[in-house]
Chains A and B, each alone.
Chain A
Amino acid sequence: MLDNNQLLRFTTAGSVDDGKSTLIGRLLYDSKSIFEDQLEAIESTSKKKGYDGVDLALFTDGLRDEREQGITIDVAYRYFTTPKRKFIIADTPGHIQYTRNMVTGASTANVATILIDARHGVVEQTKRHTFIASLLQIPHIIVCVNKMDLVDFSEEVFTKIVSDFEDIASKMLVKDVRFIPMSALLGDNVVHRSENMKWYQGAPMLHTLETMHISSDVNKVDARFPVQTVLRPQNESHRDYRGYAGRMASGVLRVADEITVLPAGFTSKIKSIDTYKESLEEAYAPMSVAITLEDDIDISRGDMIVRSNNLPTASQDIELMLCWLHNAPAKPRAKYTIKHTSNDQKAMIKEVVYKIDIETLERITDDDTLQMNSIAKVKIRTTKPLLADAYRENRTTGSVILVDDATNETVAAGMIV
């Protein structure tokens, strides 16, 4: 593997019926990422279940309940590497009752793969998955039109699905969409080019994943450095050292840059950007570094260092797209802990502006209850100003979670509008 190889995270949403597990199994099998003992295990299970041949879908079975019920319950992470890239798959269940798990898997993905059964075309579930990909602002979408073998590898069927998909996607905020006709079962256009669909001029799925441009997925414009902790070694070689440890959320910071520390508003200049190995001239997302400043300023966890000519909005009144993740519904006007980068404070949900019907994608304005899997636009008020960026500009400083103080459970995920 080459030194400059990148890491690509993608999510797969779909149900067992779409052939999602078969697709993942095929991707891993044909890229030679399945080990012999794993293959032996699924061979023996396939035999026990009385299947002809090996069912590659079994490779993605996880917990005992999932094996017994033949479903995916939780997000499972899988890994494979090719000579070009390292891949992390967030394998998420596609059923409506697991919306929260799809949202979880989507939150860190560069690419969403959306499976469509060629026999059924664009269905409600396709809409839902695309909506979640757009809500979570996954930068790229690959639409896998699967089971082409069952429609005689028909170009006409594929073209119709592409056009139907573009109809629904045009109503959402999606940027980069690619379409691939495939048969995961037979391996057509997954890793190897299909012999059965010569009319398709594009690349197979793996090649697409290996070559798509992802360096611009992270915001490189707005310099944001949330402080995680302060390093004060007070040892002989570093008696007066005061380093602010954190990870660049976005943008670039350079030595001598004029910075502002929020929320206090103090200004200073960057003195050094340090790592264990060396001191750097600049840091960019997602690097973990320690920053020292020219002036002695009181800075602690939860503060944010930003470039002085580019500040986030500090406001106590925030609009969010909220996905409710917990069994217990939202309590009206209750207070929650809101976690935003390294900052914790309290927030109250003041108003549910509208909910989204996840099946029809229509807005509901006469129902303001938030239950498990609800997606809604809400207004919240925080006790102190939140250093907000819009989620569509910045996935790190534009995202929050809500925690219920009575149970300590994570109850909601929010994206700043």
Chain B
Amino acid sequence: MSKYYLNYLDELESEAIFVLREVWAQFQNPVILFSGGKDSILVTHLAKKAFYPSKIPFSLMHVDTGHNFPETIQFRDQLIKDLGVNLIVGSVQESIDQGKVAEEKGKNATRNALQITTLLDAIELHKIDCAIGGGRRDEEKARAKERFFSHRDDFGQWDPKNQRPELWNIFNGKHFEGEHFRAFPISNWTEMDVWNYIKRENISIPSLYFAHQREVVWRSNSWIPNSEFLMLEDHEEVVTKKIRFRTLGDITITGGIESEADTLEKIALEVAAMRQTERGNRTDDKRSESAMEDRKRQGYF
């Protein structure tokens, strides 16, 4: 006789599939927010499982800052082709060109916060009523309070003190015209769970996650990749290092770590031994103690 309990990865998988099916059943026009990072790749993989043998019934939406790793875009386009799903791109460059947002100034300028406007515009334009994200509660303290089904008002804002209580596995996605939801199927996964699962399922991820030689600059305690968008200070020096990225975002703010991990097995071992959180290398979170909470309130991912 077989055992009648699930191991932790199977339970997390089953929970995420349940959430994705609830999104499909409760909303008219949901999309998956796809950044090309491992978490959104994982959500896409789980969506494939949730609706098999049907195709993924969601479009993928990418908020393109224009400051991409070229590898991310290649990966995205290949995945779209393989899955046969539709891609929606919201362009931060267009938002800038239309005068809706202004580029930040100075050496630490990023397009991170500008994405909020582009994201909310794309949600409105395409009449999206639920955007599925790869956010996890272990990532950051404001995210620890996030629901699976997270309500946004008609300005796209999150009100953390006034969230709908979420009991058992009964999700309330009821909303008025113009409002939307964010759904987070992998809320309960940790970084370690994500890597263990990617390894187990052998999910393909961008080469950036594996150790590789790259031109980098030491800034804010991590190796920032050299790119055409990077403004160098006089004392900063471009060097070549063997690095990999723990998270992927805008190329201007995503710091790499020195690493020899070039297989999924080695990455999982390395992550297990890590003494720093993964967002520790993200300069966008270092701006203040409530940097993430403030961005999330406005409508960030």
Chain A residues within 8 Å of chain B by Cβ, number: 79
Contacts of A75 in B (CB 8 A): 145
Q: Is B21's CB within 8 Å of the partner chain A? A: yes
A88-B188, A396-B169 as given contacts; A61 in contact with B4, CB under 8 Å: no
Contact B280 A400 (CB under 8 A): no
Given contacts A36-B275, A88-B188, A288-B18, contact A233 B8 (CB under 8 A): no
> When A108-B168, A233-B55, A408-B174 are in contact, do A35 and B277 touch as well, CB less than 8 Å?
yes
* Main SS class of interface, B: loop
- A228 touches which one: B4, B10, B21, B137 (CB < 8 A)? B21
B36-48 interface code vs A (CB 8 A; 1 in, 0 out): 0000000000001
| B65 on interface, CB distance cutoff 8 Å | no
B165 touches A287 (CB 8 A): no
A-B contact pairs, 12 of them (CB 8 A): A6-B7, A35-B277, A37-B277, A74-B160, A76-B145, A218-B5, A232-B54, A245-B50, A277-B49, A286-B14, A325-B165, A409-B164
Structural contact, A3 and B7, CB atoms closer than 8 A? yes
Say if the beta carbon of A238 comes within 8 Å of chain B: yes
- Tell whether, in the assembled complex, residue B11 and residue A286 are in contact, meaning their CB atoms are under 8 Å apart: yes
Given A63-B160, A229-B24, A401:B170 Cβ within 8 A: yes
Q: Which of A236-257 contact B (CB under 8 A)?
A: 237-238, 241, 243, 245-247, 252
CA distance A340 to B165 in the complex (A): 15
B51 part of interface (Cβ distance < 8 Å): yes
The one of B142, B170, B293 that contacts A399, using a Cβ cutoff of 8 Å: B170
- Find chain A residues with CB under 8 A from B17 CB: 247, 288
State A238–B4 Cα separation when bound (angstroms).
30
Stretch at the interface among B88-96, B102-110, B190-198: B190-198
A410, B55: Cα distance in complex, Å? 32
Q: A103-B167, A399-B170 known; A64 and B293 CB under 8 Å?
A: yes
A231 touches B167 (CB 8 A): no
A77 close to B (CB within 8 Å): yes
Determine if B52 and A276 form an interchain contact, defined as CB atoms under 8 angstroms apart. yes
The chain B residue with its CB closest to the CB of A408 is B174
Report the minimum CB–CB distance from B146 to chain A (whole Å).
8
Sample of 10 more A-B contacts, CB < 8 Å, known A6-B6, A228-B22: A35-B277, A63-B141, A86-B8, A86-B193, A100-B165, A231-B54, A288-B14, A325-B165, A340-B170, A400-B170
Question: How far, in Å, is B151 (CB) from chain A's closest CB?
Answer: 8
Please measure, in the bound complex, the distance between the C-alpha atom of A108 and the C-alpha atom of B165, giving whole angstroms: 13
Q: Is the interface of A mostly helix, strand, loop or mixed?
A: mixed
* Nearest-CB residue, chain B, relative to A4: B7
B138 on interface, CB distance cutoff 8 Å: yes
- The residue of chain B having its C-beta at the shortest distance from the C-beta of A326 within the complex is B165
Give the distance to chain B from A50, nearest Cβ to Cβ, in Å: 18
CA–CA, A94 and B35, complex, Å? 38
Smallest distance from the beta carbon of B288 to chain A beta carbons, Å?
10
B172 close to A (CB within 8 Å): yes
A64-B292 Cα distance, complex, nearest whole Å: 11
Residue B115 interfacial (CB < 8 Å) = no
User: A35-52 interface mask toward B, CB cutoff 8 Å, 1 = contact, 0 = none?
Assistant: 111100000000000000
Contact between A77 and B53, CB atoms less than 8 A apart: no
Closest chain B CB from A361 CB (angstroms): 22
Q: In angstroms, how far is the closest chain A Cβ from the Cβ of B298? A: 14
Given A6-B5, A35-B280 in contact, is the A79-B137 Cβ separation under 8 Å?
A: yes
Known contacts A79-B137, A229-B21, A286-B11: A108-B145 contact under CB 8 Å? no
Q: Is residue A337 contacting chain B, with contact meaning CB distance below 8 A?
A: yes
Contact between A61 and B141 (Cβ–Cβ < 8 Å)?
yes
A15 interface residue, CB < 8 Å from B?
no
Determine whether A161 belongs to the interface, using a CB cutoff of 8 Å to chain B: no
Instruction: Give Cα distance in the complex from A1 to B268, angstroms.
Output: 11
A1 cross-chain contacts in B, Cβ below 8 A: 8, 196
Chain B nearest CB: distance from A64 CB in Å? 5
Q: How far is the CB of B58 from chain A (nearest CB, A)?
A: 13
Q: How far is the CA of A61 from the CA of B141 in the complex (A)?
A: 7
The 3 closest A-B pairs by CB, nearest first: A276-B49, A288-B17, A408-B174
**Does A215 touch B at the CB level, under 8 Å?**
yes
Does residue B163 face the partner (Cβ distance < 8 Å to A)? yes
Q: 1/0 per residue B78-100: CB within 8 Å of A? A: 00000000000000000000000
Residue of A6, A36, A64 with highest tally of chain B CB at under 10 A: A64
Distance (whole angstroms) from the CB of A157 to the closest CB of chain B: 35
Mark interface residues in B109-121 (1 if CB within 8 Å of A CB, else 0): 0000000000000
- Whether B289 and A63, one on each chain, are in contact in the complex, defined by CB atoms closer than 8 angstroms, is no
Q: A81: which B residues are within 8 A, CB to CB?
A: 190, 192
B187 adjacent to chain A (CB < 8 Å) = yes
> Residues of B contacting A233 with CB < 8 Å?
53-55
The one of A62, A103, A276, A282 that contacts B142, using a Cβ cutoff of 8 Å = A62
One of A104, A275, A342 near B167 (C-beta < 8 A): A104
B10 closest partner in A (C-beta):
A287
Q: Which residue of B lies closest to A85 (CB)?
A: B8
**CB-nearest residue of chain A to B172:** A410
Q: Does B28 contact A (CB under 8 A)?
A: no
Chain A minimum-CB-distance residue to B174: A408
In the complex, the chain B residue whose C-beta lies closest to that of A323 is B167
The answer to whether B25 touches A228, judged by C-beta atoms less than 8 angstroms apart, is yes
A77 smallest CB distance to B (angstroms): 5
Which residues A100-133 have CB closer than 8 A to chain B? Answer: 100-101, 103-104, 107-108
B6 → chain A closest CB, angstroms = 7
Q: Please determine whether A73 and B161 come into contact, CB atoms closer than 8 angstroms.
A: yes
Instruction: Assess the A229–B25 pair: CB atoms within 8 A.
Output: yes
Min distance, Cβ A70 to any Cβ of chain B, angstroms: 15
> For window 384-417 of chain A, which residues contact chain B by CB distance below 8 Å?
395-396, 399-401, 403, 405, 408-410, 413
Across the interface, name the chain A residue whose C-beta is closest to B268. Answer: A1
Also in contact, A7 and B174, with CB within 8 A (given A62-B145, A73-B161, A88-B188): no
The docked-state distance in angstroms from the alpha carbon of A410 to that of B170 is 10
Say whether B145 contacts A401, CB under 8 Å.
no
Interface: A5 (CB within 8 A): yes
Inter-subunit contact B53/A101 (CB<8 Å): no
